[in-house]
Structure 1
Amino acid sequence: MKNYLEIAIGKPKGLCALFLSFLLGSCSLDEYNPGGATVESLFNTPEGIEAAANGTYTYNQKIYGKEQGYALLEMGTDIWTGGANSGNSGTNGVYPQPPLMNYQGLISDNVWVKSNLWQPCYAGINLANTALKYLPEAGVEAVKAPVLEAELRFMRAWYYWHLVESFGDIPFTLEPTESIVTVANRTPVDQVYEQIFIDLQFAVEHAPLSNTDYGKITKPIAEAFIARVYLTRGRYQEALDHAQHVINDYGFSLMPNYADLWKMDNEKNQEVIWGLNYSTNLEFNEGSNVGHSMYLMEYDTQPGMLRDVNNGYPNVRYMPTKFLLNLFDERIDARYEASFKTTWFCNETDAGKRPQGMNLGDTAIFCSKYVISSDAPAGKAYKIYDINDVYRENGIPADRFHYISLKKFEDPTRASANETESARDVFIIRLAEMYMIAAEAELQLGNQAEAANYINIVRQRAALNKQNSQEMMVVASAVTLDFILDERAREFAGEQLRWFDLKRTNKLVERVQAHNPDAAPHIREFHKIRPIPQSELDAVTNKDQFKQNPGY
């Protein structure tokens, strides 16, 4: 049976191969290679336990920075829809199912739900459970044991959070699976969360304040995540308390300029609380970061343009909804220009292949969120796509190949124009989220003025004119849950938080129906949780008890 509990435990050869992949993976850590060790000897050594702890991080690379992860956590929301090559329309024939992002493809045998959410999360949990079982007898130094336990408990909680939010009542265990299991349980959401909080509280108390190995769990990471989880569960005072601790007690600070967050030579900066480290040696990654290509339009077929490293690899997968673009007032908010690419400059070196009157470095393509007069393009060599070229009046895209493109994840350090993978790190938690958690918690506690204060710290950083940032300030009476969601869209667009934001606030269906016309006809209330993979349902023997989520 190949299910959520199967992870080569009891198969020494396979396990050692699995650990070898961990040891060559994304964490740039000094680790012990167990070579030909057996399962028992591996988990009964300090080096084996540390390797297992490091191995738990690898499963994040199945979700964060991946096409499938962006589809699962950003698409099908109010702010993104499908580009031409997403399976939504256009010429791409890769996808055998209707696209996940408009809910037609959210079915029980959706391979991305299974392979990039269910399976990696359970594999990470089982590895953590196994290491926690062997930890007390593995000979780990007394001073290191609670630190390793905190790390393993955190990662177990991290993956259970993804699962319980995505699937509702889920199979749950704290014991490792060391043989084939054919019976599955459905543990209630509240019970799963009880353990998540127990594990995270242990991590907050025992994780180190800092770590020289980038991406390893620390106390501030644990406290930042528990703030997110408390907010998710409606425990607003606890969410506020922990968010405030992270803001005030660990030395983090917002980058002065929002655009500086996304510079490749500035990935490890004072705003990043937890980052997923992708190796510059792409072979060491469990598939590298492809975020640079997912949101990029097809620029390289336009006159005056060639595909190159600086402009990126255009996968033409995901495009902003008209609603997302209109959330920004780019006259005062620097995040619009820092987040989106609207202009491409001629890079065609062969003058004979350029439009007449276009020189190298001249504007070749301009995309606008506004209507441009039909007279404006006259006499201009470059191509203009205005809002009416790209979107119909009802917001449904009219052109899914050419659109304003998210540029946060650009990587001009890739080896070649046709290199699809990137070594860019993924920001999993950054300080701006703590301000927004504190704001949402204050609002829910009835403190609009305090909520506005936290939001205004984030907005002040985003002010285009730092000398006149008052334009960006929001008054207390304007702070609502919808305003907070709008602000989170401006701040975190594309960062794999949006689906969780809409699920947490119970706004998923409402806002998709209001702002995403591609998905609006298809979304239903039952889409607030995902379908259990069909392969799991087929494999269990207690089919009367372990059933599909309603609606699927």
Structure 2
Amino acid sequence: MFKKIILLLVIVAIATTSCQEDFLETKPTDAISSGDALASAENMALILNGLHRLLYAQPQTMLSGGDSQRSGNHYWIPLGDNLAGGVIHSARANNLGWQDDTQWISHNQETSLTTKQLWYQRYHIIASANAIINKAADGTIAEDAKFKEIIGQAYTYRAYAYLSLVQHFAKGYLIGNPATDPGVPLLFASEAPFTSAPRSTVKEIYDQCVSDINSAISYFEGATARPTGNASDKSQLNIDVAYGLKARIALNMGEWRTAADAAAMARQNYPIMDKDDYYSGFNSTLLPEVIWGSNVISTETTFFRSYFYLMCNTFNGSQNRNNPKIMDKRLYAQIPDTDYRKGLFLKDAPNSNTSAANGMGGWDNNTNPLYTTEEEFDAEIDRLASVYGWTSAHNTHPYMHVKMRQKSPGTTDPDDIILMRSSEMYLIEAEAEAMLGNIEAAQNALKPLGEERDSAYDVTMYDTKEKLMEHIKFQRALELWGEGFLYTDKIRWDEGIDHAADGGSGASAGLYQSGFQQDKPSVNAEWIFKIPQEEIDANPNLGPGDQN
């Protein structure tokens, strides 16, 4: 069972210690035992560093059987907006199967890379976390502050991975029957043969997440503090990350009080970004709001597998040059002119792509009255390139975004991946308080974020639960745009996809195919990812009847 993760511990240790001169003096890199990897807190810290890298590395560089077409969270994070229709493709570009995901093809195939790589990467994380957690339980290493930090990170990683798996491969907690709906297998082994339990229920998986994250917080309370000052520091998990993950878990369970309180704890050391920071490109974990993120090593060969390749309109790749990513026109129409976030979406960018999916590319098809001559049309295309740094080969398109921008625009540099921000925590707190009917508390949670982003913000307009929830949905869609939350948000809120409704999103029905319209998750099993067929075939505790 889980044959793809048999060598996980050894491979992670190799990947993270191969550059450590003192380790190489005593052990060849193909002979590191699990005993050595778990012999001390220092060695276990190297395993954690391997997990930090595993979050974003091309898996074939670290894991037996890994495929180069996915680079972990470079793919999985933006998938949440790509799949749910928040980030809209303006033209055909199926590199890495990214368009197949928008068309609702890949996640509904048990043999697709999307399902297989997500499943095995998350279970790799679990197996490696298990090794540390199980070693801690045997009592052979003293639980000093450093060791508690390592155990806290391991428990947080395991909760994170189980939450990701149950959110994708099972029905949503609030829209089904969690006590009986099938979840995913629990895995507690840290060595071959990695025998798991059969599929546990959704509730059992969430209960495991709750148990793990509470254990993590308990260990972190007596742990060494996370260092600060370097972009790599926020790759390490700490008590703030654990509280943020606890808030996410509770929000998806409808445990509103827990969600609100945990979110408030998570955000307290991370001030809301100002306009300058918000406009800086979302490319660094050093931004003050970032609670957790992957600091992508500059020598890591993600490049055309990176988050910025899939999402960023300044990246010099065909996915971006030919297919600028745009905002839903209906969302843009809701943004007040006094909200500076509006400036990161270029409503009036000329449509320079003659292959645009809407058939309106090129000067001959221009309908924007701002451009009365072809010279004005072309001049604006050139001006935008000079402002944002993309190349002359990049196409432009109305409603294209410039939220995610590289530190070095027009290159193939991958840049960091932001995984958790304090703004998300304000929004979790607000949603949870609104669901509890605590109007003033929800308003108070929204006020700091709203007033920073919008100079005319007036939270008192939202004075009922219904008004608050509609406004919170708008704020999450705008504030967290492109950061991967829309898929799980729609499941929690039981909302479908309809690109044609209310004037249309700007997506092409011909391009989006099945992804153009999907019924709400509570009545539509297509939202649930297929379990990889390889897992069904290899796992003695799973059979054809366990397939979603």
Please indicate the TM-score interval, normalised by the length of the shorter structure.
Answer: 0.7 to 0.9
The residue identity in structure 2 corresponding to 1:69 is W
What is the aligned counterpart of 2:344 among 324, 331, 338? 338
CA distance in 1, matches of 2:184, 2:299: 36
Q: Is the 8 A contact 2:115 2:529 kept in 1?
A: no
Taking the aligned partners of 2:379 and 2:190, their CA distance within structure 1 comes to 59
SS in 1 for 2:51: helix
1:68 touches 1:112 (CA, 8 Å); kept in 2? Answer: no
Q: Contact conserved, 2:264 with 2:425, CA < 8 A, in 1?
A: yes
- Structure 2 unaligned spans of 5+: 58-69, 171-182, 228-232, 353-360, 382-394
Distance in 2 separating the partners of 1:338 and 1:218: 31
Q: Which blocks of at least 5 consecutive residues in structure 1 are unaligned?
A: 300-306, 347-364, 386-399
**What SS does the aligned partner of 1:270 have?**
coil
How many Å separate the matches in 2 of 1:512 and 1:498? 18
Question: What's the secondary structure of 2:88's corresponding residue?
Answer: strand
Task: Tell me if the contact between 1:151 and 1:203 (Cα under 8 Å) persists in the aligned partners.
Answer: yes
Is structure 2 residue 413 aligned with structure 1 residue 421?
Answer: yes
The 5-angstrom pairing of residues 416-495 of structure 1 reads: 417=410, 419-422=411-414, 424-463=415-454, 466=455, 469-470=456-457, 474-477=461-464, 479-495=467-483
- Higher mean Cα deviation, 109-118 or 515-524? 515-524
CA distance in 2, matches of 1:209, 1:46: 12
Per-residue CA distance 1:315-337 (angstroms, 9 max, x = gap): 627433322332323x2110021
Match of 2:310 in 1: 294
Q: 1:425 to 1:103 in 2, by over 3 A?
A: same
Q: How does 1:460-539 map to 2 (within 5 A)?
A: 460-463=451-454, 466=455, 469-470=456-457, 474-477=461-464, 479-509=467-497, 518=512, 519-522=515-518, 525-539=524-538
Q: 1:341 to 1:68 in 2, by over 3 A?
A: farther
Q: Say whether residues 1:270 and 2:288 are aligned partners.
A: yes
Q: Can you list the C-alpha shifts for 1:419-468, whole angstroms capped at 9, x where unaligned? A: 4332x2222111111110111011100123332332232121112xx4xx
User: How far is 1:154 from its partner?
Assistant: 0.6
Pick from 278, 282, 304 the counterpart of residue 300 of structure 2. 282
Label 1:546 to 1:323 Cα distance change in 2 as closer, same or farther (>3 A): same
Give the one of 210, 222, 245 matched to 1:197: 210
Q: CA deviation at 1:254?
A: 0.7
Is this contact kept in 1: 2:107–2:115, CA < 8 A? Answer: no
Q: CA separation in 1, counterparts of 2:434 and 2:405?
A: 35
Q: Within 5 A, what are the aligned runs for 1:159-198?
A: 159-168=161-170, 169-179=183-193, 181=195, 185-198=198-211
Q: Distance in 1 between matches of 2:488 and 2:202?
A: 15
Query: Does the CA-based 8 Å contact 2:106-2:113 persist in structure 1?
Result: no
Listed one character per residue, the Cα deviations across residues 36-65 of structure 1 (whole Å, up to 9, x for unaligned) are: 422233223333322222222233216888
Q: Residues 102 and 522 of structure 1 are in contact (CA less than 8 Å); yes or no, is this contact kept in structure 2?
A: no
SS of 2:418's partner is strand
Q: Does 114-123 or 485-494 show the bigger shift?
A: 114-123
Please state whether the residue corresponding to 1:132 is helix, strand or coil.
helix
- TM-score of the superposed pair, with normalisation by structure 2: 0.75
Q: How much has 1:406 moved relative to structure 2? A: 2.3
Higher mean displacement: 524-533 or 67-76:
67-76
Distance 2:516 2:239 in 1: 41
Deviation at 1:379, TM superposition (A): 5.8
The equivalences for 1:222-237 within 5 A come to 222-237=242-257
Indicate the SS of the match to 2:83. Answer: coil
Structure 1 stretch 141-150 or stretch 64-73: which is displaced more? 64-73
How far, CA to CA, are the matches of 1:317 and 1:265 in structure 2? 18
Tell me which amino acid in the other structure corresponds to 2:75: Q
User: Which amino acid in the other structure matches residue 482 of structure 1?
Assistant: E
Mapped partners of 2:22, 2:204: distance in 1: 35
Code of the residue aligned with 1:131 in structure 2: it is: I
1:145 matches 2:147: yes
Output one character per residue of 1:366-387: Cα deviation in whole Å (capped at 9) or x when no partner: 99xx9633873366252779xx
Q: Output the CA distance in 1 between the equivalents of 2:461 and 2:309.
A: 34
Using the alignment, how far apart are the partners of 2:17 and 2:224 within structure 1? 24
Pair 150,413 (structure 1): closer, same or farther in 2 beyond 3 Å: same
Structure 1 residue 510: Cα displacement: 7.2
Call closer, same or farther: CA 1:485–1:258 in 2, change over 3 Å: farther
* Alignment partner, residue 354 of structure 1: none
Give the equivalent residue in structure 2 for 1:376: 372
Bigger mean CA offset, 154-163 vs 445-454: 445-454
Give yes or no for contact 1:197–1:226 (8 Å, CA) kept in 2. Answer: yes
TM-aligned CA distance change 1:15 to 1:275, over 3 Å: closer
Q: Secondary structure at the match of 1:273?
A: strand
**In 2 relative to 1, CA 189–79 (structure 1 residues): closer, same or farther, beyond 3 Å?**
same
Q: Alpha-carbon deviations, 1:119-163, whole Å to 9, x = none?
A: 100011011112222234553553333222111011000000000
**Aligned residue for 1:82?**
89
Could you tell me how far apart the structure 1 residues matched to 2:22 and 2:125 are? 18
- Equivalent residue runs for 1:398-413 within 5 Å: 402-413=397-408
Using the alignment, how far apart are the partners of 1:420 and 1:199 within structure 2?
A: 38
Distance 1:448 1:377, change over 3 A: farther
| TM-score, with length taken from structure 1 | 0.75
Q: Map 1:43-82 to 2 at 5 A.
A: 43-61=38-56, 68-70=75-77, 72-82=79-89
Residue 109 of structure 1 aligns with which residue?
Answer: 110
Q: Distance in 2 between matches of 1:290 and 1:128?
A: 25
Letter in 2 for 1:335: R
Cα separation, partners in 2 of 1:64 and 1:443, compared to 1, 3 Å: farther
Shift of 1:86: 3.5
Shift of 1:15: 5.0
- Give the CA deviation at 1:472: 7.7
Tell me the CA shift for residue 471 of structure 1: 6.2
- What is the identity percentage for the equivalent residue pairs of Structure 1 and Structure 2? 19
Q: Counterpart of 2:236 in structure 1: which amino acid?
A: K
Aligned partners of 2:418, 2:312: CA distance in 1, in Å? 19
Partners of 1:308 and 1:498 lie apart in 2 by 26
Q: 1:220 to 1:381 in 2, by over 3 A?
A: closer
Query: What's the offset of the Cα at 1:295?
Result: 3.6
Q: Aligned partners of 1:8 and 1:494: how far apart in 2?
A: 34
State the alpha-carbon separation in 2 of the partners of residues 545 and 127 from structure 1: 28
Q: Are the counterparts in 1 of residues 371 and 377 from structure 2 also a CA contact under 8 Å?
A: no
Q: Which has the higher helix share?
A: 2
Q: Say whether the 8 Å CA contact 1:83–1:401 is kept in structure 2.
A: no
Number of equivalences: 477
